[in-house]
């Protein structure tokens, strides 16, 4: 059994992380959602600020959604925040302590449910994320990432679990995978499991498992305009059904193949706001990558003399530059504001 060596190593080397100070279900849940596809160092300040403002599940439940999404601003994958807020509205004073009920809640999948149950409720579950999976593949000497091999890894990790310390066992594997056994680097001489590890015996542990060739993400050319009228800027709220749901942004959209950026922004502003902007001023260019695509933004500013024709389907506001920062914006929009500040 690997758990004795693993837990002995963990007791001496575990990371001091803020969500490990008091393993209540709410803190574990918030940390696990924040950590999805996001680095620990990025999550730490967000988690700390979140807990100051929403220290309990009830405080999150009683909060306004716009305030909650503002707290999440910059962390990305905004559907995670939306689902957390939905969950807070569905449960009472605490999260369920059983798998069947947890898995039904928005944004809680198999891994998150099992991790919450093991760490917060000390139940014998193993939540297998990419770190745990990689450690398992290397110990078993499996190269091909197949469903069959994944199931072998899960079975192995479950069979080797310490039933008395299920939470520590999960966190020990997480720490091992992130510190000594990462995807690109291994520190095998400090690993407690080298004797059991077939990848170590091969003298090429980072070749286990074989990484899939990542697809090149598409990049879209976008035209955006800051619309300024009487020292106020126009921002619109994205629909709750769209990517980056609930965030605020500046008008604009994709540049068609036959268009110049200037032609595109005149058309987009007309379609979105019913305003005619005849001479948009080019400010600069912004590039930003989201999880599945990138954007190359041509940024303009427009000064319509009148906004009497303004007609927008979604919620909108005309606010000062200072007040814009009180609203949750996509990261790309913050980059645009950085350009504007440099020009002031």
CA dihedral 265, 270, 272, 275 (to 10 degrees): 110
CA dihedral 79, 82, 83, 89 (to 10 degrees): -170
* C-alpha span between 148 and 266 (Å, rounded): 54
Contact present, 47 and 40 (Cβ < 8 Å): no
* C-alpha span between 103 and 176 (Å, rounded): 27
Q: How far is CA 65 from the centre of its chain?
A: 17
The angle formed by the CA atoms of residues 228, 229 and 235, to the nearest 5 degrees, is 55
User: Got the DSSP string for 105-153?
Assistant: STT--HHHHHHHHHHHH--S-----HHHHHHHHHHHT--S--HHHHHHH
> So which residues are the catalytic ones?
32
* Phi then psi dihedrals of residue 128, to 5 deg: -95, 100
């Amino acid at each position: 059994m690997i758990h004795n060596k693993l837990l002995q190593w963990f007791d001496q080397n575990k990371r001091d992380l803020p969500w490990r100070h008091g393993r209540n279900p709410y803190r574990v849940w918030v940390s696990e959602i924040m950590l999805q596809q996001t680095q620990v160092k990025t999550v730490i300040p967000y988690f700390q600020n979140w807990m100051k403002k929403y220290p309990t599940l009830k405080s999150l439940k009683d909060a306004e959604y716009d305030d909650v999404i503002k707290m999440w601003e910059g962390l990305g994958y905004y559907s995670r925040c939306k689902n957390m807020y939905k969950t807070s509205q569905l449960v009472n004073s605490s999260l369920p302590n059983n798998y069947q009920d947890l898995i039904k809640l928005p944004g809680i999948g198999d891994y998150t449910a099992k991790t919450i149950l093991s760490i917060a409720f000390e139940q014998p579950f193993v939540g297998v994320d990419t770190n745990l999976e990689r450690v398992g593949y290397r110990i078993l000497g499996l190269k091909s990432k197949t469903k069959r091999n994944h199931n072998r890894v899960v079975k192995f990790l479950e069979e080797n679990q310490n039933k008395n310390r299920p939470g520590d066992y999960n966190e020990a594997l997480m720490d091992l995978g992130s510190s000594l056994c990462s995807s690109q680097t291994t520190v095998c001489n400090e690993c407690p499991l080298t004797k059991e590890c077939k990848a170590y015996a091969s003298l090429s542990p980072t070749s286990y498992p074989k990484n899939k060739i990542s697809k090149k993400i598409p990049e879209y050319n976008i035209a955006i305009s800051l619309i300024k009228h009487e020292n106020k800027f126009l921002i619109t709220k994205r629909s709750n059904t769209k990517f980056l749901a609930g965030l605020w942004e500046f008008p604009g959209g994709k540049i068609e193949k036959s268009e110049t950026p200037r032609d595109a922004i005149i058309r987009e502003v007309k379609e979105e706001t019913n305003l005619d902007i005849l001479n948009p001023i080019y400010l600069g260019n912004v590039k930003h990558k989201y999880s599945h695509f990138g954007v190359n933004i041509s940024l303009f500013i427009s000064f319509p003399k009148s906004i009497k024709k303004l007609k927008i389907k979604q919620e909108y506001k005309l606010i000062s530059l200072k007040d814009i920062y009180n609203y949750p914006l996509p990261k790309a929009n913050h980059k645009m504001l950085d350009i504007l500040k440099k020009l002031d």
